[in-house]
Each structure stands twice: as C-alpha cells, then as structure tokens.
Structure 1
C-alpha cells in the first residue's frame, strides 16, 4: 500500500455530508523519524500538536 490508498474515497462514501481534511500517511517503519513531517502537516492543516 502506498499513501492513503482509497481511504479518502471510502470515507467520502461512508460519511456523506462530512467535511474531510487532508490526511497524512506515515509508514509504520518510518514513524519514529516522522516528527518533522507530522509537525509540517499539523501546521498546514491548522491542527494543534498535543
């Protein structure tokens, strides 16, 4: 699997009327080194960092 696959289409079909934001795909083996990527995504989407 690469990226988010069909996730966006699946959610759109399953949740009519919902507003979907930009997703972020991080491979399990890369998650320990994904901090900068996650920070950039959070800033871009306006989500707070916990």
Structure 2
C-alpha cells in the first residue's frame, strides 16, 4: 500500500479497524439509553429563577 512495508500496512489497517469497531460498539451501547435516565425538569415550561 503506497510503497510501505507490509508490517506498516498491517499495523495501520489494524489501528483503523480497531477504531471503527470501538466507535460502532460505543454508539450501539449508548444509543439505547432510556429517557428516564435523564434528569427530570420541573413541569410548566417557565423558567423558575
């Protein structure tokens, strides 16, 4: 790949593959968090200061 040694190509591909898999796992594990985990805000819509 681009004249690089095979070992460098494998290391680069491994790092990229790890990062893509890590990001996908993080996305899928956090995208199903329930809405009830969010802090509740007071009802009424007005700002209470």
Common fold: TM-score over 0.5: no
Which structure has more relative contact order (CA 8 Å, sep 6+)? It is 1
* Higher fraction of helix: 2
Larger radius of gyration between Structure 1 and Structure 2: 2
